[in-house]
């Protein structure tokens, strides 16, 4: 018996005192097996013109002021286009993490537009079977409120309406690089030219390359597949920079498009990059969080 006690003391006691190298290793800690959603693929909910896979968040009101100036190649007489401006004032609201609604009013065509944007799948990491990309659905309508000519043939409200729908598939490949593809469909109840179709199909391509933590280069291109007279209408291409300062995101860019909703820039772009018909423009976004604060500090020690 004595030996047993001695033996226990000899072996057990040091064992009890032994320091564990990695205590957290004893439990299945936070390091593995947790699904992590990938966030921040784009700085803004728009690449430049088109919707991005990014969402503004629940209870967030995003006030968006968009400007598109005149053509740079109009020269010094028009102060390189800055003498003219077209704008869209918009309000987006995050109903949920994956659901945003928005309203906007553009000066061009005195157009009112609204949309619903829903995230079906969010890119994630950390677990097997996590989605490698995000899938977002966006659909909207536009109504032009411009006065019609006295001899206008079609005067009903329905003739002023147009609709768009798109599926956006995007992935944040690295911290710096994100890319998205967006097949889009625009239906206009009334078109200008006989050669135009009521239905327009396009493929949107949007990319982001982060240059620093708060500055990114962005490109937004929509290739019109069918439905438009290509002699008149061009594919909208916008290139620019996202600059972020606290609650603001500034998007400064050059584009051949003036439209500021999907229907407008996909079906109404007539300027040509090749002939220097480029415009300067900016998007200003300011977010406000609506609702009560949730985070509470527990009673500390």
Partner 1 sequence: MKQLAFTIYILFISLASVSAQKYFTKTGYISFEAGTALEDIVAANKAAASVLDAATGQIEFAVLIKGFEFRRALMQEHFNENYMESSKYPKASFKGTIANIREVSFQKPGNYSITVKGTLEIHGIKKEITIIGSIKVSGNTIQTLAKFPVTISDYKIAIPGIVSDKIAKTATVSVNCNYTVLK
CB 92 within 8 A of CB 107: no
Select the span of 21-29, 115-123, 251-259, 272-280 touching partner 1 (CB under 8 A): 21-29
Q: From the CB of 287, what's the least distance to partner 1, in Å?
A: 5
Of the candidates 47, 48, 53, 56, which one interacts with partner 1 according to CB under 8 A?
Answer: 56
Q: Can residue 297 be called a binding residue for partner 1 (CB under 8 A)?
A: yes
DSSP 8-state assignment for residue 8: H
CB atoms within 10 A of CB 161: 16
Task: Report the distance separating Cα 41 and Cα 118, nearest Å.
Answer: 16
Burial code (b: 16+ CB inside 10 Å, e: under 16) for 128-142 equals eeebebbbbebbbbb
Task: Report the distance separating Cα 34 and Cα 123, nearest Å.
Answer: 14
Q: From the CB of 162, what's the least distance to partner 1, in Å?
A: 31
CB 270 within 8 A of CB 278: no
Q: Can residue 6 be called a binding residue for partner 1 (CB under 8 A)?
A: no
Alpha helices in the chain (DSSP H): 2-17, 262-267
| CA 294 from centroid of its chain's CA atoms | 26
Site string for partner 1, 216-255 (x = CB under 8 A): ----------------------------xxxx--------
Of the candidates 10, 13, 127, 148, which one interacts with partner 1 according to CB under 8 A?
Answer: 13
DSSP 8-state assignment for residue 18: P
User: 3-class SS at 84?
Assistant: coil
Select the span of 52-60, 65-73, 133-141, 182-190 touching partner 1 (CB under 8 A): 52-60
User: 3-class SS at 34?
Assistant: coil
Q: From the CB of 208, what's the least distance to partner 1, in Å?
A: 12
Q: Can residue 3 be called a binding residue for partner 1 (CB under 8 A)?
A: no
Q: Can residue 39 be called a binding residue for partner 1 (CB under 8 A)?
A: yes
Q: Can residue 32 be called a binding residue for partner 1 (CB under 8 A)?
A: no
**What residues make contact with partner 1 under the rule CB under 8 A?**
1-2, 4-5, 8, 12-13, 16-20, 22-24, 26-31, 34, 36, 39-40, 56-58, 60, 94, 97, 175, 213-214, 244-247, 287, 289, 293-301
């Amino acid at each position: 018996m004595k030996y047993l006690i001695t033996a226990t003391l000899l072996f057990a006691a040091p064992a009890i005192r032994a320091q564990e190298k990695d205590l957290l290793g004893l439990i299945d800690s936070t390091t593995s097996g947790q699904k992590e959603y990938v966030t921040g693929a784009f700085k803004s909910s728009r690449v430049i013109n088109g919707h991005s896979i990014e969402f503004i968040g629940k209870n967030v009101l995003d006030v968006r002021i968009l400007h598109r100036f005149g053509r740079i190649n109009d020269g010094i007489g028009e102060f390189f286009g800055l003498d003219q401006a077209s704008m869209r004032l918009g309000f987006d609201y995050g109903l949920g993490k994956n659901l945003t609604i928005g309203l906007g009013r553009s000066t061009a065509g005195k157009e009112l537009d609204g949309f619903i944007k829903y995230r079906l799948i969010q890119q994630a990491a950390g677990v097997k079977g996590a989605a490698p990309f995000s899938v977002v659905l966006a659909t909207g309508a536009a109504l032009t409120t411009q006065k019609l000519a006295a001899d206008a043939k079609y005067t009903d409200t329905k003739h002023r309406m147009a609709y768009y729908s798109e599926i956006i598939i995007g992935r944040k490949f690295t911290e710096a690089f994100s890319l998205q593809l967006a097949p889009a469909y625009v239906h206009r109840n009334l078109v200008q030219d006989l050669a135009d179709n009521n239905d327009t199909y396009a493929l949107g391509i949007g990319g982001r390359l982060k240059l620093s933590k708060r500055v990114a280069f962005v490109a937004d291109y929509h290739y019109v597949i069918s439905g438009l007279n290509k002699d008149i209408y061009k594919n909208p291409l916008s290139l620019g920079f996202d600059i972020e300062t606290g609650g603001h995101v500034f998007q400064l860019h050059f584009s051949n498009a003036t439209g500021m909703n999907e229907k407008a820039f996909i079906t109404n772009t007539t300027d040509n990059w090749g002939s220097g018909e480029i415009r300067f423009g900016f998007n200003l976004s300011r977010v406000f969080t609506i609702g009560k604060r949730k985070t509470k500090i527990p009673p500390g020690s």
